[in-house]
Amino acid sequence: MTTPLNTERYSYRARWFHWVMAALIVLAYALILSRSQFAKGTDLRTFVVQSHFWVGIVVLIMAFFRVAERHRHTPPGVTPPLEGILRLAATLSHYALYAFLFAQPLLGLFTVLLERGALPVPLTSLTIPAPFDIAKDTAQTLEHFHVLLGTIFYYVIGLHVVAAVWHHFVRKDNTVRRMV
């Protein structure tokens, strides 16, 4: 059952999840993009890549709690309300962003588990074993989709930011104020 708390803003938890997860997603992108700054096989490059894995896992775990929070509390309405194509675009983009929060980390996780047979723990020699056998061809396919989805979501995330700016400065509605 959903419970409205404040009809003008998202709940504190929803806002916390939004901003912490946004920061983690930026960190995940920054980590994987910075790996090329370090020579292959070096401890620093290994740390950066493994940190990318674990940031993705944290995003995945938080996504479950974020969805639960969204179901617990009805999101505040946009004032003035969105109608027609604007409402459809907002709904579709939010579904896409939520799908990304689950699909991207899962693709990355399964890529690592199928390629390496275990998930390494950064700064240790510990690994979490995969519950299935190594399948490098499947891992390669999943990695392709992980990279493709990551590239697509540069644009989806950019569109999300541009839409927020447009709502705030052009449409002058409460879309941004609801999340801050």
Number of domains the chain contains: 1
Three-class SS string for the chain? CCCCCCCCCCCHHHHHHHHHHHHHHHHHHHHHHHHHHCCCCCHHHHHHHHHHHHHHHHHHHHHHHHHHHHHHCCCCCCCCCCCHHHHHHHHHHHHHHHHHHHHHHHHHHHHHHHHHCEEECCCCCCEEECCCCCCHHHHHHHHHHHHHHHHHHHHHHHHHHHHHHHHHHHHCCCCCHHHC
pLDDT tens-digit map of 6-47: 468 999 999 999 999 999 999 999 999 999 999 999 999 999
pLDDT tens-digit map of 70-110: 999 999 999 999 999 999 999 999 999 999 999 999 999 99
- Residue 121, in any domain of the structure: yes
Per-residue confidence (pLDDT) for residue 29, from 0 to 100:
97
Per-residue confidence (pLDDT) for residue 5, from 0 to 100:
45
pLDDT tens-digit map of 157-178: 999 999 999 999 999 999 999 9
The domain of 58 spans 12-179
- Residue 3, in any domain of the structure: no
The confidence band for 124, taking pLDDT boundaries of 50, 70 and 90, is confident
- Residue 157, in any domain of the structure: yes
Per-residue confidence (pLDDT) for residue 4, from 0 to 100:
46
- Residue 6, in any domain of the structure: no
The pTM of this model reads: 0.90
- Residue 76, in any domain of the structure: yes
- Residue 2, in any domain of the structure: no
- Residue 75, in any domain of the structure: yes
Per-residue confidence (pLDDT) for residue 164, from 0 to 100:
96
Nearest in space to 47 (alpha carbons), one of 121, 126, 140: 121
- Residue 140, in any domain of the structure: yes
